[in-house]
Amino acid sequence: MTTVTHGFLDDPVFGIVSDVASSLGVRAYVIGGYVRDCFLGRPNDDIDIVVEGSGIALAGAVAQRTSGKVTVFKNFGTAMLRHKGKELEFVGARKESYHRESRKPVVEDGTLEEDQLRRDFTINAMAFSLQKEDYGALVDPFGGIRDLSEGIIRTPLDPDTTYSDDPLRMLRAIRFATRLSEEGHPFTIVPESLDSMRRNRDRLAILSKERIVEELDKILLTSRPSMGFRLMDETGLLELILPALSRLKGVETVDGKGHKENFSHTLQVVDNVASAEAAQGLEPNLWLRWAALLHDIGKPSSKRFVPGSGWTFHGHEVIGARMVPGIFQQLKMPLNEKMKYVQKLVGLHLRPIALVDEEVTDSAVRRLLFDAGDDIDDLMLLCNADITSKNPAKVSRIRANLELVKRKLVEVEEKDAIRNFKNPITGEYVMELFGIPPGKEIGILKEYVKEAILEGEIGNNFEEADALMRKRAAELGLVPVK
Ligand code: ATP
Ligand code: MG
């Protein structure tokens, strides 16, 4: 029986592709993510078109009709065309076979059916016909539509073959389960698939780190990343990908005292960041989510049991910040300002709370502003997300204190403008004033001024800074030359 769908191919571009394919005498189908998302009612502007014939030739002919420009990826045999906000990717239907050492298949031309067989999941293997005679007919050989409505992720072929051929699919399964799951409609990976992932986890070794991180990023950017990380953990993938995160698992007990389960806590914090961003109408900030994921990464190596008082993780934020570059490097992630941002947030994540535990003095607030700079709002968001206590009284107390810090931050910033602190005294000014070459005095004087400003001894302005600097310079034996 053929199900002909209505409404999904209304966009005129599908009619154009259909006409052009028919005039070239080739069969073309919309396939994959676009079809899936139509049924899920999720907007998707990426359209994959599979052709029994040359994808590149069809793309070229369509481009002539739409006066568009084609980008050809010769190595992949694909061509991309943009049209009115949609991105169309054309590919010839293919049959694949794999070598053990690589996830790059040997590719031959094939039929639609053969092409569907090589796709990762039943829900990603559905196609809409673009042929005149059955325009919009759903071609769904593996029951993708049923799996979609039941929220099931399963492979068309034997999972061992699917995952061993291309182990990236294990992470894709987890990513789709995480992304597609919604309140009231969860997606689960079938048990045979999960078992197969456990068996095939060593196959991850053939993947490039970049592809793995791409999937991690996509999982982190979902509305509930914890689900993906739990699945990675349950299948043994996490241990291979991010061992430092796996090490947060478990609770040790001494003298009947256990500590917080840091893995669950961490995942909760990542989810909290995601919900807070959504609630505040912010775009998902990938690097803030990485910071949340890694914020307690230093806990295992800082863990101590102090008889009589219990567990401490003293200095874990410092250890954690030091671990960040190594983790980024190991995953071949950028070692640029993004890494520094994550490192900074991990290193500072206790500061706002520590501040309220003592007393919210102006100088402590100025120092926090100085250290966090423009990332202060992100730090405060992370700090709020870090509150996962089950004790409501404790939670509301900490939240109230953080609000106090926030108000203080605004107040102090308005007064002293520390956020983008620029020392009013520059090195050039000092050298010219005293007629001295570069040397350690300059650092000493600038540091002295900075400290005085942060401590609130002088205001953040040139006049006061200059006067103070001249006084200190005199003590060092420096005399102005003019
Ligand atoms: P997204 O919305 O994330 O782009 P998508 O389903 O479109 O989801 P893509 O990565 O764009 O995912 O891939 C397009 C289609 O190509 C998939 O729906 C699937 O049919 C197929 N596909 C992609 N990657 C693989 C893979 N590694 N193995 C098998 N099939 C794949
Ligand atoms: Mg896509």
Residue of 29, 120, 155, 164 with the most ligand 1 atoms within 8 Å of its CB, for mutation:
120
- Residues 385, 294, single domain; the answer is yes
Q: What is the pLDDT of residue 358?
A: 64
Evaluate whether 321 touches 298 at the Cβ level (below 8 Å): yes
Q: Output the six-digit token pair for 248.
A: 């947060």
46 pocket-lining for ligand 1 (C-beta < 6 Å): yes
Ligand 1 pocket test target in 119, 142, 219 with most atoms within 8 Å of CB: 119
Residue 246 lies in a domain: no
Ligand 1: nearest atom to the Cα of 44 = 2
Same domain, yes or no, for 61 and 120? yes
Give the count of domains, the chain: 4
- Final residue of a domain: which of 150, 169, 203? 150
Looking at the structure, tell me whether residues 47 and 94 fall in a common domain: yes
Question: How many angstroms separate the first and last alpha carbons of the chain?
Answer: 96
Query: Is any atom of ligand 1 closer than 6 Å to the C-beta of 87?
Result: no
List, for residues 415-429, the tens digit of each pLDDT value. Answer: 888 888 889 999 999
Give the separation between CA 92 and CA 74, rounded to whole angstroms.
Answer: 12
Tens of pLDDT along the chain (482 residues)?
A: 567 777 899 999 999 999 999 999 999 999 999 999 999 999 899 999 999 999 999 999 999 999 999 999 988 889 999 999 999 999 999 998 888 788 888 888 899 999 999 999 999 999 999 999 999 999 999 999 999 999 999 999 999 999 999 999 999 999 999 999 987 899 999 999 999 999 999 999 999 999 999 999 999 999 999 999 999 999 999 999 999 999 999 998 998 888 889 999 999 999 999 999 999 999 999 999 999 999 999 999 999 999 888 899 999 999 999 999 999 999 999 999 999 999 999 999 999 988 876 677 888 899 999 999 999 999 999 999 999 999 999 999 889 889 989 998 998 898 888 888 889 999 999 999 999 999 999 999 999 999 999 999 999 999 999 999 999 999 999 999 97
Spatial distance between the Cα atoms of 321 and 381, rounded to a whole number of angstroms = 18
Shortest-distance ligand to the CA of residue 168? 1
Please indicate, yes or no, if residue 228 is contained in any of the structural domains.
yes
Would you state the structure tokens that stand for residue 480, as one six-digit string?
């102005």
CA of 233 to the centre of ligand 1 (A): 23
Question: Are residues 139 and 25 located together in one domain of the fold?
Answer: yes
- Does 89 contact ligand 1 (Cβ within 6 A)? no
Q: Is 181 in the pocket of ligand 1 (CB under 6 A)?
A: no
- Could you tell me if 68 and 210 lie in one domain? no
Distance from residue 45's CA to the centre of ligand 1 (Å): 14
Are residues 408 and 455 both part of a single domain? Answer: no
Which pLDDT score, from 0 to 100, does residue 362 have? 87
Same domain, 139 and 158: no
Q: Which residue has the tokens 């293997």?
A: 125
3-state secondary structure of 457: coil
User: pLDDT value at position 256?
Assistant: 86
What is the Cα–Cα distance from 318 to 147, expressed in whole angstroms? 47
- The CATH number for 86's domain is 3.30.460.10
| Atom number of ligand 1 nearest to Cα 169 | 27
Identify the CATH number of the domain in which residue 163 sits.
Answer: 1.10.110.30
Question: Atom 16 (ligand 1): residue with closest C-alpha?
Answer: 32
Coil, helix or strand for 319? helix
Ligand 1 neighbourhood includes 144 CB (under 6 angstroms): no
For ligand 1, atom 21: residue with the closest CA: 119
Is 161 contained in some domain?
A: yes
Is residue 274 located within the same domain as residue 348? yes
Residue ID of nearest Cα to ligand 1 atom 8: 33
d(CA 267, CA 271): 6
In degrees to the nearest 10, what's the CA dihedral of 281, 284, 285, 290?
A: 130
Q: Which ligand 1 atom is the nearest neighbour of the CA of 118?
A: 29
Other C-beta atoms within 10 Å of 235: how many? 24
**Calpha distance 66→16 (Å, rounded):** 8
From the CA of 390, how far away is ligand 2's center (Å)?
40
**What is the layout of strands, in order, in the sheet containing 46-52?**
3-4, 137-139, 127-129, 27-31, 46-52, 86-92, 78-83, 70-73
Backbone angles phi, psi at 389, to 5 degrees: -60, 145
Would residue 265 count as lying in a domain? yes
Nearest ligand to residue 31 Cα = 1
Distance 146 CA to ligand 2 centre (A): 21
Binding site membership of 166 for ligand 1 (Cβ less than 6 Å) = yes
384 pocket-lining for ligand 1 (C-beta < 6 Å): no
DSSP 123: G
Residue ending a domain, among 117, 150, 183, is: 150
Residues 21 and 141 in one domain: yes
Q: What is the 3-state secondary structure (H, E, C) of 432-453?
A: HHHCCCCCHHHHHHHHHHHHHH
Residue 127 CA: which ligand is closest? Answer: 1
How far is the CA of 96 from the CAs of 119, 128, 203, 393, in angstroms?
Answer: 10, 22, 18, 59
**Same domain? 258 vs 225:** no
Residue 410 belongs to some domain of the structure? yes
Last residue of a domain, one of 241, 270, 285: 241
**Per the domain annotation, does 422 fall within a domain?**
no
Domain that holds residue 33: 1-150
Ligand 1 site, residue 167, Cβ cutoff 6 A: no
Return the pLDDT at 1.
54
Gap from CA of 33 to ligand 1 centroid (Å): 6
Indicate whether 409 and 272 sit together in one domain. Answer: yes
421 found inside a domain: no
Closest-lying ligand 1 atom to the alpha carbon of residue 218: 3
For residue 119, the ligand closest to its alpha carbon is 1
For residue 100, tell me if it sits in a domain: yes
* The pLDDT of residue 103: 81
Global pTM exceeds 0.75: yes
How many Å lie between the centroid of ligand 2 and the Cα of residue 71?
Answer: 17
> Inter-axis angle of helices 225-234 and 209-220, to 10 degrees?
130
Residue nearest to atom 6 of ligand 1 (CA): 33
Are 140 and 157 in the same domain? no
